[in-house]
Amino acid sequence: MDIKSNAISDTDPVRVNPPQAARALGELLRQTPEYEAFLKALKAVNNDLTVQRLGAQMRAHQNALQWGRDGSDQHEAELMRLDQELENLPIVQEYRRVEAEIIQLFRAVDQIITQEAGVDFALNAKRSGCCS
């Protein structure tokens, strides 16, 4: 990671509230090549027919496991096989590559926010899902 400069003045003349500052940061992140590549790869994966087919098959096995239908071992094995097939697709591998890049960028950004804020930002801002 190359951080060009972290020399930010301690006396910012303009005081903004956190939501405003978050929107400004969001706009800048949206314009990065990493985000554009991520969005492109995400759309490509979501529109890919093979991915959709594998996704539907995986959901069927997940449902069977969730409802405890017969042959749990078989469903688990099939789920693992389908997952492997999915991850081996070039389009998914490209998605994983750009996903790793955007994660690296966002984590670096989050470290800066956290350091200035004095509290872990993303970690504490995460909304807990019902099943998390």
Closest by alpha carbon to 8, among 113, 103, 106?
A: 113
**46 touching another protein, by CB under 8 A:** no
Q: Which of 49, 123, 130, 131 binds another protein (CB under 8 A)?
A: 123
Could you tell me the smallest distance in angstroms from the CB atom of residue 98 to another protein?
11
Q: How many residues bind another protein (CB under 8 A)?
A: 57
**96 touching another protein, by CB under 8 A:** no
**SS3 of residue 39 by DSSP:** helix
Identify whether the C-beta of residue 84 lies closer than 8 Å to the C-beta of residue 116: no
d(CA 62, CA 57): 9
**51 touching another protein, by CB under 8 A:** no
**119 touching another protein, by CB under 8 A:** yes
Could you tell me the smallest distance in angstroms from the CB atom of residue 63 to another protein?
24
**68 touching another protein, by CB under 8 A:** no
**60 touching another protein, by CB under 8 A:** no
d(CA 132, CA 80): 21
d(CA 83, CA 50): 12
Q: Which of 45, 106, 130, 131 binds another protein (CB under 8 A)?
A: 106
DSSP string, 59-81: HHHHHHHHTT-S-HHHHHHHHHH
Q: Which residues bind another protein (CB under 8 A)?
A: 1-6, 8, 12, 15-30, 32, 34-35, 38-39, 42, 101-127
